[in-house]
Copies of this chain bind each other. A is one copy, B any other.
Amino acid sequence: MIQSKNRQWRLASRPTGMVEDANFQWVEEPIPTLDADGQVLVRVLYVSIDPTQRGWMARDSYLPAVRIGDVMRSFAVGEVVDSRHPDFAKGDVVRGMFGWQDYCVADATRPGAVSKVPPGVPIPLVMSALGMTGLTAYFGLLDVGRPREGETVVVSGAAGATGSVVGQIAKIKGCRAIGIAGGADKCAWVVREAGFDACIDYKSENVQARLGELCPEGIDIYFDNVGGDILDAALARLAMRGRVVLCGAISQYNAEGVPPGPKNYLNLLGKRGRMEGFIILDYLPRAAEGTKELAAWVMAGKIKDRVDVQEGLENAPSALRRLFSGENVGKQLVKIA
């Protein structure tokens, strides 16, 4: 359905605790028009829902916080409906930070602001394994974690968009992959479909004890998407010269105040370990390299992609909450047109 207005979710207030509908304001405006050369008008088709958006709502971090009153920031894929940029024509499918809205005027002269989606690739795939999520898994595991054949890689959020790809790349690289996820269904998917060697259900199992059983020689790489007690359990089981790749800490994002840190961090000393953070935006200049390899793996059936599509822009705030309640399996998207 093509909208006759530009519906938007704007940031109304900064969250304290869990994200609420009241943190957003629903606004309907006329569809914008182009007023400068270099611009394109994009009709947004899908918006991406990511844990890091909670941080963008709350405070300045690796990106400035979304300002109160601004459209909620989001990766998105859309279709060009008007263009004053020679590289983009009506009908092109493009991606960029178009936000939670039906229409976005984007300045296509800014490097990376608007880029074309290769024709023939399903949009959900472009937004998951072949998008920012897949690249996060790719560069985080390979560039920060630096796995070697035969090593043991443990991934939290293993049924999630990034974690599921991390484990599959670990397997491709000849590592053992152990997932941690919440619930029997997710764990079953992680093992049977995504091909991990095992998956620990943190809701019903003692994570630290199970890590001890499943990783008798310790954890060479722990790819952390969740923080909290699970990070501590992994630190306690670190192998000599183990690496902790800090990708996120979803269990902590809705905490009020600053939650406790990883009390087992000193194991980094005894084990000569390394804990290192990264932000995928730094790797965008190398995106082509990662996307090419990821695409080959997806085509060869070595990476299975799973997306969780909610329908309707009005459901974007509740879709964001799904990440924190763990209701989603795989990449969370909202289809808006």
- Which residue of B is nearest A258, CB measured? B263
Q: List residues of chain B with CB within 8 A of the CB of A263.
A: 258-261
Task: Tell me, rounded to whole Å, the shortest Cβ–Cβ distance linking A162 to chain B.
Answer: 13
Name the residue among A261, A265, A269, A272 with the largest chain B CB count within 10 angstroms: A269
Task: Tell me, rounded to whole Å, the shortest Cβ–Cβ distance linking A79 to chain B.
Answer: 33
Judged by a CB distance under 8 angstroms, whether A262 is at the interface is yes
Interface residues of A (CB under 8 A from B): 61-62, 227, 232, 246-249, 252, 258-266, 268-279, 282
C-alpha gap A282/B259 in the complex (Å): 34
Contact A262-B264, Cβ < 8 Å, known A248-B269, A272-B277, A272-B279: no
Add 11 more A-B contacts to A62-B269, A269-B277 (CB < 8 A).
A227-B266, A232-B261, A246-B265, A262-B262, A268-B276, A271-B277, A272-B277, A272-B279, A274-B276, A274-B277, A275-B275
Task: Tell me, rounded to whole Å, the shortest Cβ–Cβ distance linking A132 to chain B.
Answer: 16
Task: Tell me, rounded to whole Å, the shortest Cβ–Cβ distance linking A125 to chain B.
Answer: 27
Q: List residues of chain B with CB within 8 A of the CB of A232.
A: 261
List 13 contacting pairs A-B, 8 Å CB cutoff, sorted by A: A62-B269, A246-B265, A248-B269, A249-B269, A258-B264, A260-B260, A261-B261, A261-B264, A265-B265, A266-B277, A269-B278, A272-B278, A274-B275
Q: List residues of chain B with CB within 8 A of the CB of A61.
A: 270
C-alpha gap A156/B273 in the complex (Å): 20
Q: List residues of chain B with CB within 8 A of the CB of A271.
A: 277
- Which residue of B is nearest A224, CB measured? B269
Q: Which 8 A-B pairs have the closest CB atoms?
A: A261-B261, A269-B277, A268-B277, A261-B263, A261-B262, A274-B276, A61-B270, A246-B269
B273 near A277 with CB under 8 A, answer: yes
Task: Tell me, rounded to whole Å, the shortest Cβ–Cβ distance linking A228 to chain B.
Answer: 11
Q: List residues of chain B with CB within 8 A of the CB of A272.
A: 276-279, 282
Q: List residues of chain B with CB within 8 A of the CB of A261.
A: 232, 260-265
Task: Tell me, rounded to whole Å, the shortest Cβ–Cβ distance linking A240 to chain B.
Answer: 9
Contact A270-B227, Cβ < 8 Å, known A263-B258, A265-B262: no
A266 near B282 with CB under 8 A, answer: no
- Which residue of B is nearest A249, CB measured? B266
C-alpha gap A275/B270 in the complex (Å): 13
Q: List residues of chain B with CB within 8 A of the CB of A273.
A: 276-277
- Which residue of B is nearest A259, CB measured? B263
C-alpha gap A279/B248 in the complex (Å): 28
Task: Tell me, rounded to whole Å, the shortest Cβ–Cβ distance linking A157 to chain B.
Answer: 14
C-alpha gap A277/B278 in the complex (Å): 18
Name the residue among A61, A252, A260, A276 with the largest chain B CB count within 10 angstroms: A276
Q: List residues of chain B with CB within 8 A of the CB of A252.
A: 266
Partner of A246, one of B259, B262, B268: B268
- Which residue of B is nearest A246, CB measured? B269
Task: Tell me, rounded to whole Å, the shortest Cβ–Cβ distance linking A302 to chain B.
Answer: 28
C-alpha gap A276/B263 in the complex (Å): 15
